[in-house]
Amino acid sequence: MSSLHSLLSVLQRQHAHIGMLLSRVGDSSGTARHGAVADLLQYVALHESAEQTFMHPVALKSVGDVAAVQGRVVEEREIEAVITRLEGLDPASMDFMIYFGLLEEAMSGHTRAEENVEARVLGAVPDHELEHMARGIGLVDVWMDPAARLIGGSVASMPLRPGPRDVGFSELHRRSLEAFDAVFRLR
């Protein structure tokens, strides 16, 4: 299996999981929706942090079509802005559903663009860098695995549910970036 194929496989699997989490939010209500939103935001924070650490910086240095990568970075900032607005809303409200619809649309377009536009230009990235990207982004799956959570010490063990120790998306994203950056420096 080629290094690019390995990276695309990880991205597609995680993007499909994000799609499933989005569906869970849309299909649920009440307390179940609160939990579904928390699960979605936690996964998206980790996934985007991994891409921002392992994929985009290397791609920006290695590809000729920098706009293909920069476009994805801009989309991620827009998604973060929608999530920040969404977090402050009651999941039962109409405003929440409006912003959630915007999030679904933004995530769908972003994941398609990563898989179809950015992936095309990643062929210019050396194989060893593509392998590192795939392993780094694959850490999201490891950290989100319930068995890994029991071991402790992972970013995924931080709470993202309503309560006195609530960790919002921005804070989870910041901590995730720090954790991924530490892993990146170990290479």
Spatial separation of the C-alpha atoms in residues 24 and 80, rounded to whole Å: 20
Spatial separation of the C-alpha atoms in residues 24 and 18, rounded to whole Å: 10
For 51-80, what is each residue's pLDDT tens digit?
999 888 888 888 778 888 899 999 999 999
pLDDT of residue 153: 55
pLDDT of residue 161: 44
The CA-based angle 33-147-183, given to 5 degrees, is: 95
Residues in the chain, pLDDT under 70:
1, 146-166, 184, 186-187
Domain 3-181, CATH: 1.20.120
pLDDT of residue 172: 81
Structure tokens at 38: 């928390």
Spatial separation of the C-alpha atoms in residues 4 and 10, rounded to whole Å: 10
For 83-95, what is each residue's pLDDT tens digit?
999 998 999 999 9
DSSP state of 155: G
Q: End-to-end alpha-carbon separation of the chain, Å?
A: 22
pLDDT of residue 124: 85
Spatial separation of the C-alpha atoms in residues 92 and 103, rounded to whole Å: 16
User: By C-alpha distance, which of 4, 46, 51 is closest to 21?
Assistant: 46
Q: What is the pTM of this model?
A: 0.86
Structure tokens at 186: 């170990």
pLDDT of residue 149: 53
pLDDT of residue 147: 62
